[in-house]
């Protein structure tokens, strides 16, 4: 893999960086992509988009928890990889001028030490109140199955802190990412086809404002035309080379 000197220079000189990550980064840690199964992904006879839905939380919360505990179990042995670590290292250099926006819910970026992070779709290792108060609860990856809890504040049952089918993104999350992408000088998209709205629009926003845009993905994506440079390969191999 040939990485241009211009790209290395842009990365080294970037003062404000916005990075978007998707399933590809997790896949390098062995995380299965449930979404990749599309409608064919089924759990206990239920299609993925049915068991992972807002309606199901209302109708059968214990079943939702059973499914999410199963998924947490699958994740138990998945560890952050070189890509997660490289991004944490990048953040440690730029601090508040580095924002990581992820579509992944596995919590591996946080486990790797990333702090300036927006988990657009939530985090499977966290629960929140069904009444919608602001309290969130961390679960240990080892607590499987966890014991279903109630909110300390509202006495309401807790649910996974993950954006389900039929739900909007948490208020303010995407808006903050947009604001950041608006005046970053380098934007990078990693391991995502970025066709899922609204994450896809971040690259467009950054590009429009003149940021240097880099894509890292094994295959060409529908959004590849947006990027100044597209690197084909594994993020865990490419990122450490770019950042060395
Ligand atoms: Zn509550």
Residue 153's domain comprises: 38-77+127-162
Q: pLDDT band for position 36 (50/70/90)?
A: very low
Could you tell me the CATH number of the domain that includes residue 144? 3.30.1600
So what's the pLDDT on residue 35? Answer: 55
Could you say which of 139, 162, 185 is where a domain stops? Answer: 162
d(CA 17, ligand 1 centre) in Å = 35
Q: What's the number of domains the chain is made of?
A: 2
Which are the contacts of 197, defined by CB distance < 8 A and separation ≥ 6? none
What's the mean pLDDT in 224-241? 94
Average pLDDT score over the chain: 91
User: What's the chain's Rg over C-alpha atoms?
Assistant: 18
135 in the same domain as 23: no
183 in the same domain as 108: yes
Q: 202 with 20: CB under 8 angstroms? A: yes
102 in the same domain as 56: no
d(CA 244, ligand 1 centre) in Å = 45
So what's the pLDDT on residue 196? Answer: 65
Which are the contacts of 155, defined by CB distance < 8 A and separation ≥ 6? none
210 in the same domain as 225: yes
So what's the pLDDT on residue 214? Answer: 96
For the stretch 115-133, pLDDT in tens is 999 999 999 999 999 998 9
Is pLDDT at 137 greater than 60 in this prediction?
A: yes
For the stretch 77-102, pLDDT in tens is 999 999 999 999 999 999 999 999 99
Is pLDDT at 168 greater than 60 in this prediction?
A: yes
Could you tell me the CATH number of the domain that includes residue 114? 3.40.50.1220
d(CA 156, ligand 1 centre) in Å = 6
Let me know if 109 is a catalytic residue.
no
């Amino acid at each position: 893999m040939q990485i241009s000197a211009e790209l290395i220079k842009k990365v080294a000189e970037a003062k404000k960086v916005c990075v978007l990550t998707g399933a590809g980064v997790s896949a390098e840690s062995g995380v299965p992509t449930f979404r990749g199964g599309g409608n064919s992904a089924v759990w206990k006879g239920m299609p993925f988009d049915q068991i992972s839905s807002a309606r199901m939380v209302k109708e059968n919360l214990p079943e939702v928890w059973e499914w999410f505990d199963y998924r947490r179990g699958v994740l138990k042995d998945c560890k952050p990889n070189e890509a997660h670590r490289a991004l944490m290292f990048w953040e440690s250099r730029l601090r508040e001028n580095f924002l990581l926006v992820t579509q992944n819910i596995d919590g591996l970026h946080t486990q790797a030490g990333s702090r300036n992070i927006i988990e657009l779709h939530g985090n499977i290792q966290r629960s929140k109140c069904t009444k919608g108060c602001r309290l969130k609860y961390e679960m240990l990856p080892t607590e499987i199955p966890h014991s279903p809890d109630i909110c300390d504040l509202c006495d309401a049952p807790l649910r996974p802190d993950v954006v389900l089918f039929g739900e909007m993104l948490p208020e303010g999350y995407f808006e903050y990412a947009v604001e950041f992408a608006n005046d970053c000088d380098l934007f990078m998209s990693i391991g995502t086809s970025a066709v899922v709205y609204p994450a896809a629009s971040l690259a467009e926003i950054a590009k429009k404002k003149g940021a240097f845009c880099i894509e890292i993905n094994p295959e060409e994506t529908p959004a590849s035309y947006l990027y100044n440079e597209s690197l084909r390969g594994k993020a865990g191999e490419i990122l450490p080379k770019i950042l060395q």
